[in-house]
Amino acid sequence: MVDVAFGPEQGKRPDLSNTREAYLDMVRRKRMYGGILLVLFIALMSSGWMLADDRNAGGFWGGLHQVFDFPSEVLSEAWEKRANLPGIFIDHIPALIETINIAAVATLIGGVAAMALSLLATRGLARWPRLVPVFRRTLDALRAIPEIVIALVLIYILGGGPVPAVIAIALHTGGALGKLFSEVAENADPKPVEGLASVGATWSQRMWLGVIPQVAPNWLSYALLRFEINVRASAILGFVGEGGIGHDLKLAMQWGQGRYDQVVAIFLLLFLTIVLIDQMSDRYRHRLTKGKPA
């Protein structure tokens, strides 16, 4: 915690003739504040956990020794049927591709929307400076609505399929990336923009030729990070709504015993995909922001 926050107030400055006393006094006060905060935090945490434990269907201590029951049951059944696994992998590849496609399309659409919105919401670059707060609030609102809300409502209107998930994730992505993009654009060098303005370039030309080349590496890096997040979100939306590998996982889970080989196969597919995308985007982002290794 930052210590200056608890420094002496104006008018109550310590007596400089007795620095040692004043210093010890400040240390004591700081310790007291720290202690109070700590006690408060511990009280909040413990009462919170107790409350959550109370409202849970199963208790913590009762459930703790069961944590490994389900995974071991699943794994042992899958181990017996390990010969099936490659076949199941192949069966679920289309669903996996759908999940990744949902994330990719949503990231693309959301990213493009975020590009436009972020420039409109950046002070100093905006097309209509008076509307900057409007676009900022729009971004906030897009970020605030959780994907699941939009997805469930859209499933009701559009029927099943991947499109509701794409729209839901794209809207959220637009809001989340828009904020990050606008922070990057704020720090862009204004000189190229001024140069372009002096030769009579239009707003879109100034942005496309003056701002985008500067911010592209950072924007791309954020978009990749978002793609990573969106793959996870798309799997979760599949589990709650429909479409993709999440839905397959839900069906296999609901079937329960007898299909645990499928559960394991889908877990593995999902895990490997996430780790792979994680690693790839990590490496590529590193190259984008720190420059190519010579």
Binds another protein (CB under 8 A): choice among 22, 26, 75, 148 = 148
Q: Does 80 bind another protein (CB under 8 A)?
A: no
Residue 236 sits in the site that holds another protein (CB under 8 A) = yes
**φ, ψ dihedrals at 288, nearest 5°:** -65, -45
Nearer to another protein, 16 or 67 (CB): 67
Rounded Cα distance between 129 and 123, Å, is 7
What are 134's two structure tokens? 């409007």
Residues 263, 81: contact at Cβ < 8 Å? no
Near another protein by CB under 8 A: residue from 8, 34, 58, 124: 58
Sole window of 61-69, 113-121, 201-209, 218-226 interacting with another protein (rule: CB under 8 A): 61-69
Beta carbon nearer to another protein, 129 or 146: 146
> Hey, is 77 helix, strand or coil?
helix
Assess contact for 181 and 115: CB atoms under 8 A: yes
Alpha carbon distance 30, 33 (integer Å):
5
Q: Site map for another protein, 176-205, x if CB under 8 A? A: ------------------------------
- In angstroms, the CA 188 to CA 181 distance is 11
- Can you tell me which residue has the tokens 């329960």? 256
Tokens 């370039």 belong to residue: 201
- 8 A C-beta contact, residue 118 and residue 218: no
Which position among 24, 29, 35, 69 is part of the footprint of another protein (CB under 8 A)?
Answer: 69
The interface region with another protein, picked from 19-27, 48-56, 186-194, 214-222 by CB under 8 A, is: 48-56
Q: CB under 8 Å to 36, separation ≥6 — which residues?
A: none
Is residue 174 near another protein by the rule CB under 8 A?
no
For another protein, the binding residues (CB under 8 A) are 1-2, 4-5, 41, 44-45, 48-49, 51-53, 55-60, 63-64, 66-67, 69-71, 98, 101, 104-105, 108, 140-141, 143-149, 152-153, 156-163, 166, 232, 235-236, 239-240, 246, 249, 253, 267, 270-271, 274-275, 278
